[in-house]
Amino acid sequence: MIDYYETFGLKGMLPQNLSEVFLQEFVFEYEAFKNNTIDKHAPSMILMAVIIFEHKYRKIPLEEVELIVQPEKLIEKYNFYGMAVVVEDLRRKGVVDISQNDLPNVENIFDLNREVVIEI
């Protein structure tokens, strides 16, 4: 995940910019999380993505290992990112339509007040 970030940058970590392989891995992980079938000992790609966003948005170098995030906020952001990758998967499959203006960006991906119009 760090290598992917270093290659594609923070914008590359947005769901709409993920490679198909990474998108499917994120979707698989989030579905397992929702169904409570996730391997609790396996590394979490979604959690890693959330941490990368938190570090870079706060302008903290990734080399600094300490990042303080309240557990409730971490779960909230995990869910935001997880839902965003599932919606992106549906968008790529043609199940839903979302305008380019409604796709998440670096500044609003975790914004609780962000409105998205999804057409089915």
* Distance of alpha carbon 34 from alpha carbon 11, whole angstroms: 26
User: 22-34: per-residue pLDDT in tens?
Assistant: 999 999 999 999 9
Note if the pTM is more than 0.85. yes
Average pLDDT over residues 101-110: 94
* Helical ranges in the chain per DSSP H: 2-12, 20-34, 45-57, 71-92
Per-residue pLDDT, 65: 57
CB within 8 A of 45, min separation 6: which ones? Answer: 1, 22, 25, 26, 29
